[in-house]
Amino acid sequence: MLARTQPSTGFTGLTVTPDGLTVHWKGRVPAQVQKLVDASPVAVTIRPTAFSLAELDRAARELADSVAASGAAASRIGPSADFSAIEVSAASPVSTLAAQLAAGRSGIPVRYVVEPEAVPAYGRWDDTSPFWGGNAIDRLTDPILRHYTYCTTAFSVTKPNGTSGLLTAQHCGTNEEWRTPYGDALVGTSDGGNTTLDSVVITGSSYAPVVYVGDTNSSSGAAVTGAANPGVGSYVFASGSWSGASVLKVTAVNQYAVADGVTHGPGFWAVNEEGVASVGQGDSGGPVAGVNSDLQTVSARGLISMVSTGSYQGACVGRTSDGRICSTRSFHINIDAVTSGLGVSVATL
């Protein structure tokens, strides 16, 4: 908490393992932080790093903007798992991408790797007011052929004026009326949102600080009691309305992804360690959360934004639809960035 409230510190990041927690820190560790480490009930190791979180984030953001401006087809941009460099991934040979971009930012090494491109995860089902996060929403896109766009909501939020809302992904649609697929209940209308953060707020109804857990037809939920970004190596669960809930391992944090020439982030990449393509189109905007010590409650971690294609792509679980893309690896926008960027707070019980 101390590092999160003092952005000028040397805090870089966290790595979670079964044996304990590693705090990556640049420079001298403040006495207040060392005191917290010494008093921690779990094993905590402080590992020196060359760059702070602020420096890495600034370099990643500048590099992502350069990628977007150049038209290069990079999909993942952000710190490496050990926080020693910025990694840039692309589906094309890295030499081509490297030639289009500067070799480094602010003295921070840049590594180029080949990975499949990321695509937006475009679109349980008969939710009623007050609506929960993780429910399915749709909007009519073709009144003649009766075509719909489907997405998922994330977390209930509160605006500064006290208005309640529900988060979802911006790429699902801005300034649109959203309803439940079954029952046609009005969930609300999305605002303009934030493109970089791929997030919008839906308002116009009543919403509860609860998210659906379980499969696509589940009626079970967990109360939201907090919100914080995840650490590398930690486990979270994504709960999309098309795929249902699944456990994912966070593999990279404070990342940026570029899709269709637009930079999205900061966020985190996570994988299904069992190799199941458990996140896919239709899950977009859905909640990514961490389970608390009280297993009936969760903490918000982020919003489902994109899935990886190529070797990560696999057979979808849950509901199926012709041409639906699902993946074992997915990109999620940091909850702290979403709330700060949209000027809202996560509603909690």
The reply to whether 304 falls in a domain is: yes
pLDDT digits (tens, 9 = 90+) for 121-153: 654 999 999 999 999 999 999 888 889 999 999
Lowest mean pLDDT among 8-17, 179-188, 253-262, 292-301: 8-17
| 84-119: pLDDT as tens digits | 999 988 776 665 566 556 545 568 998 888 877 777
User: What is the rounded average pLDDT of the residues 39-53?
Assistant: 94
26: left (phi over 0), alpha (psi -120 to 50) or beta: beta
Q: Which of 99, 118, 137 is the last residue of a domain?
A: 118
Residue 33 covered by a domain: no
Compare 171 and 259 and report the one with higher pLDDT. 171
Say if 45 falls within a structural domain: no
| Choice between 63 and 175, residue whose per-residue pLDDT is larger | 175
Q: Which domain holds residue 256?
A: 120-346
Mean pLDDT of 249-260: 95
Q: In the prediction, which pLDDT does 97 show? A: 62
Q: What is the pLDDT of residue 145?
A: 83
Question: What is the model's pLDDT at position 198?
Answer: 98
Position 84 in a domain: yes
* Mean pLDDT of the 227-244 span: 98
Instruction: Find out whether 103 and 80 touch, Cβ atoms under 8 Å.
Output: no
Structural domain contains residue 57: yes
Q: What is the CATH number of the domain that holds 313?
A: 2.40.10.10
Are residues 334 and 282 located together in one domain of the fold? Answer: yes
Q: Which is it for the CA torsion 93, 99, 100, 103, positive or negative?
A: positive
Rounded to two decimals, what is the model's pTM? Answer: 0.85
Q: What is the pLDDT of residue 290?
A: 98
Task: Give percent of the chain above pLDDT 70.
Answer: 93
Domain boundary among 85, 118, 151: 118
Provide the number of structural domains found in the chain.
2
Which amino acid makes up residue 153? T
Domain match, 263 and 136 both = yes
Q: Is residue 287 part of a domain?
A: yes
| Residue 108 is assigned to a structural domain of this protein | yes
Is 36 contained in some domain? no
- Both 250 and 300 in one domain: the answer is yes
* Whole-number Å distance between alpha carbons of 203 and 177: 10
pLDDT band at 294 (very low <50, low <70, confident <90, very high): confident
Q: Identify the sign of the CA torsion 211, 216, 217, 218.
A: negative
Most confident of 39-48, 56-65, 257-266, 335-344: 335-344
Whether 210 and 75 map to the same domain: the answer is no
Same domain, 142 and 211: yes
Q: What is the mean pLDDT of residues 73-84?
A: 88
The pLDDT score that the predictor gives to residue 102 is 53
Residue located via tokens 């429910």: 135
Instruction: Determine the Cα–Cα distance for residues 291 and 2; give it in Å rounded to an integer.
Output: 22
Q: In terms of domains, do 270 and 283 share one?
A: yes
